[in-house]
Amino acid sequence: MFQLTGKRAVVTGGGSGIGAAIATLFARQGAHVAVLDVDEAAARRTAAAIRLSDGTAEALACDVADAAAVARVFAALAAAGPVDILVNNAGIAHVGTIEQTTPEDLDRLYAVNVRGLFLCSRAAVGIMLPQGGGVILNMASIASLVGVPERFAYSMTKGAVHTMTMSIAVDYVKRGIRCNCICPARVQTPFVDGYLHQHYPGREDEMRRTLEAYQPIGRMGTPEEVAALALYLCSDEAAFVTGQAYPIDGGVLVS
């Protein structure tokens, strides 16, 4: 079960964190993975680690907010073979209420989290339709389902991810393309470590415990746990699943 042998998968933001975990697991399950990241060195590290474990992967620099860059990268991918799976994982965050959010903050998050997903999905759909279908998986957030304090701009973008997921699913359900999204609560990633170091120097452990306590289960999730759910949703075992938002939240929604 959950084998991706012979599939070609594209993972944006695959240089670290959840994206790297997804790329690594997909390769372990037999997929050839194209690791996209604005940080080419990070993408290369993920791809190299996959190859060291006998997987197949390539690294491509791509700013998902740049229409020309996305068109160029996906044209190269299409020339090399099918695109069976697209995981739209690339994203950035912002901490603040509406009062603490500038127009520039909002535009910056929109460019990556919303426009970037649009550009990559649009390119992938153009490749998937002639080949008979494919799977698109988007990384939303628990913030697209419930209010999260001091995440105004971030929540706005992840709400858009949720609704774009449903739109793609309904538009292409008869044409062989499935589209779902994952809605994680807090996940222990390099972003979290950087956030704690920047905003709470000397109090990292204290604030990490606060972040962990947000999930009733008592800890943050791991990138590998999110990757396992992504594997299911992109596998043939999920062939009957489309247009859904899957929480992976340590009990947030039932608390």
The residues carrying an active-site annotation are: 154
Residue type at 241 in one-letter notation: V
Report yes or no: 19 and 50 within 8 Å, Cβ to Cβ: no
- Output DSSP code: residue 238: G
Taking alpha carbons only, the member of 87, 135, 140, 86 closest to residue 113 is: 140
Q: Which amino acid is at 52?
A: L
What tokens does 151 get? 């995440």
- Dihedrals phi, psi of 2, to nearest 5 degrees: 60, 30
Cβ within 8 Å of residue 220, ≥6 positions away:
185, 186, 187, 188, 192, 211, 212, 250
Q: Six-digit token pair at 164?
A: 């774009």
Contacts of 138 (CB under 8 A, 6+ apart): 87, 88, 117, 121, 161, 164, 165, 179, 180, 181, 182
Please give the full DSSP string across 111-172, using - where no structure is assigned.
IIIIIHHHHHHHHHHHHHHHHT-EEEEEE--GGGTS--TTBHHHHHHHHHHHHHHHHHHHHH
Residue 180 φ/ψ, nearest 5 degrees? -135, 170
CA contacts within 13 A on the Cβ side of 99: 1
